[in-house]
A = this chain, B = another copy of it.
Amino acid sequence: MYWSKSFIPTSKENPSGAKIPSHQLLIRAGMIKQESAGIYSWLPLGFKVLKNIESIVREEQEAAGAVEILMPTLQSSDLWIESGRYEGYGEEMLRISDRHDADLIYGPTNEEQITEIFRSYIKSYKNLPLNLFHIQWKFRDEIRPRFGLLRGREFLMKDAYSFDLDKESAKISYFKMFTSYMRTFKRLGLNAIPVIADSGPIGGELSHEFSIITNTGETEIYYDSRILEIEDYDFDYSKKDSLENSYNKFTNFYSSTDDKHSEDLFQKIPEEFQNKGKAIEIGHIFSFGYKYSEPMNAFVNNDKGENIPVYMGSYGIGVSRLVSAIIEAYHDDRGILWPISVAPFQVGIINLGKNDEKCKKVSEDIYQQLRSNNIDVIYDDRDESAGRKYADMDLIGIPYQIILGPRDLESNKCELKNRLNDQRVSIDLDNIIKELLKLI
């Protein structure tokens, strides 16, 4: 992408009202724009990051055997009356009347709708287990939307729903999602900490939250820091033992939210690993059994011909929230430090010789070569000062930056800058593509 042909409205000013780094930086980097309280437009750079995260989440869901569908944003209130959640859900549920005075809601989650889909088609244990997921916009009418995407109202979520014949089989479905979440977050550059959680309005008996530690977290968690050192994310979805071992590995270390914290257990951790920190929740999974299948009549026949309710679970990842969470984990005083897996562009080209024909030619040439090697690259071809170009490229957080100036070009060289550690090295022009292909 040529910077001049995109739409990247960066700004030096910190926006008023934005209190945490991710909110400030998303606006300053021209990635999002607030439209109403807690409702945002995604400008080109922000949209690319959102899509990159979405792709990783999708790939890992599919790898775990989940099948993608798409449910609509608006749901009939009838489903929620059937499950018993319509009255109780409170004011966070956006309730809507259509022109015929039918009651709709903007879905805050989809347990009811997926149960209704399941019961419409699936009648036999032979079609189990099944896990269906979708990635769709949802709405929660927060009383005080704040912190940008972290507590917005219209937000993008991946939610998966598992259906099993019994609790034993449901455990495997739960392990699959649990371990796939750890892999997903790892690919996003995040070391997530799983914490046993209350199941809240979703319900059920087994539940984990996945959180990352940042300065701006909303809740406090206590944890054994060895959980962050686990390096072995290897397991086999088709083998129960492998899944269970992996699950146990990730859940063996102590972790707890402060309301459930046990100082006794905490003190048993060797002191150097005792840790607490502020946490941002990025995922939440639930095994809730018959909570929806019983009242909503989602029954299947087992192999004895008995008609029994299906055993369910649900598994959420906050896709739009992750954009903010990643920034909270990765930024400095100059801007964002995107992990390369989600960066809007992997490489940025800064042309310092805006009136220098050779600079232009070499920049264009490198740009085309990177593109033909399937590297996602932005070329800052604007008529702006060097200072502005450096600052903007750092602000939007491009991991690798090629700096092309007339003086370097005289000796057939350019600079390659690593945004993360701020190192700059001088490289022969003939080697720059090879060097980048090695790094990416």
- Taking Cβ atoms with an 8 Å cutoff, the residues of A that contact B are 5-7, 9, 30, 33, 35-37, 39-44, 47, 50, 65, 67-76, 91-92, 94, 96, 98-99, 102, 104, 106, 113, 116-117, 120-122, 127, 130, 132, 137, 139, 141, 143, 153-154
- The smallest beta-carbon distance between A296 and chain B, in angstroms, is 14
- Shortest Cβ distance from residue A172 to the other chain B in the assembled complex, whole angstroms: 15
Contact A7 B94 (CB under 8 A): no
Q: Closest CB of chain B to A111's CB: distance in Å?
A: 14
Once the chains bind, are B50 and A70 in contact (CB under 8 Å)? yes
Structural contact, B69 and A104, CB atoms closer than 8 A: no
Chain B contacts for A91, CB-based, 8 A:
99
Contact residues in B for A39 (Cβ distance below 8 Å): 72, 74
- Chain B residues closer than 8 Å to A127, beta-carbon distance: 7
Q: Which of B9, B35, B74 interacts with A154 by CB under 8 Å?
A: B74
When distances are taken between beta carbons in the complex, the residues of chain B under 8 Å from A92 are: 99
Q: Which residues of chain B come closer than 8 Å to A40, judged between CB atoms?
A: 72
Q: How far is the CB of A129 from chain B (nearest CB, A)?
A: 10
This protein's copies in its complex = 2
CB distance from A298 to the nearest CB of B (A): 14
A137–B47 CB distance below 8 A: no
Of the candidates B67, B98, B141, the one whose C-beta lies within 8 Å of that of A98 is B141
Using known A-B contacts A36-B102, A98-B141, A104-B36, determine if residue A132 contacts B7 with beta carbons closer than 8 Å: yes
Chain B residues with Cβ under 8 A from A42's Cβ? Answer: 69-71
Q: Is the CB of A74 within 8 A of B139?
A: yes
User: Do residues A35 and B130 form an inter-chain contact, with CB atoms below 8 A?
Assistant: no
Which of B41, B44, B98, B143 meets A99, CB within 8 Å?
Answer: B143
Instruction: Let me know if A35 and B69 touch, CB within 8 A.
Output: no
A-B contact pairs, 22 of them (CB 8 A): A5-B65, A5-B67, A6-B67, A7-B130, A9-B120, A9-B121, A33-B120, A35-B113, A36-B102, A36-B104, A37-B102, A41-B69, A41-B71, A41-B72, A41-B117, A42-B71, A43-B117, A44-B67, A74-B106, A94-B96, A98-B141, A137-B137
Taken together as a complex, chains A and B put the C-alpha atoms of A176 and B321 apart, in Å, by: 36
Most chain B CB inside 10 Å of its own CB: which residue of A7, A113, A127: A7
In the complex, the chain B residue whose C-beta lies closest to that of A30 is B121
Docked pose: A50 CA to B154 CA in angstroms:
23
A120, B32: Cα distance in complex, Å:
12
For A7, the closest partner residue in chain B by CB is: B67
Distance in angstroms between the alpha carbons of A84 and B96 in the assembled complex: 24
